[in-house]
Amino acid sequence: MGNKVTTFTDDQLEAYQDCTFFTRKEILRVFKRYQELAPDLIPFNMTGDESRKIKMPVDVIEGMAELNENPFKTRVCEVFSEDGSGNMSFDDFLDMFSVFSEAAPRDIKTAYGFRIYDFDGDNYLSRPDLEKTLTSLTQDELTAEEVAFVVDKVLEEADLDDDGMLSYIEFEHVISRAPDFLNTFHIRI
Give the model confidence (pLDDT) of 139-168 as tens digits: 889 999 999 999 999 999 999 999 999 999
How confident is the model at residue 5, as a pLDDT? 55
Kindly report, residue by residue over 93-137, the tens digit of the pLDDT.
Answer: 999 999 999 999 999 999 999 999 999 999 999 999 999 999 999
> How big is the chain by its Cα radius of gyration, in Å?
19
Q: What is the location of CATH 1.10.238.10 in the chain?
A: 10-46+53-99, 106-184
| 2, pLDDT greater than 70 | no
Between the CA of residue 166 and those of 51, 118, 140, what are the distances in Å? 36, 10, 22
**More confidently predicted of 2 and 46:** 46
| Exposure on the CB side of residue 188, measured as CA atoms within 13 A | 1
The CATH code for residues 106-184 is: 1.10.238.10
pTM: 0.91
The CATH code for residues 10-46+53-99 is: 1.10.238.10
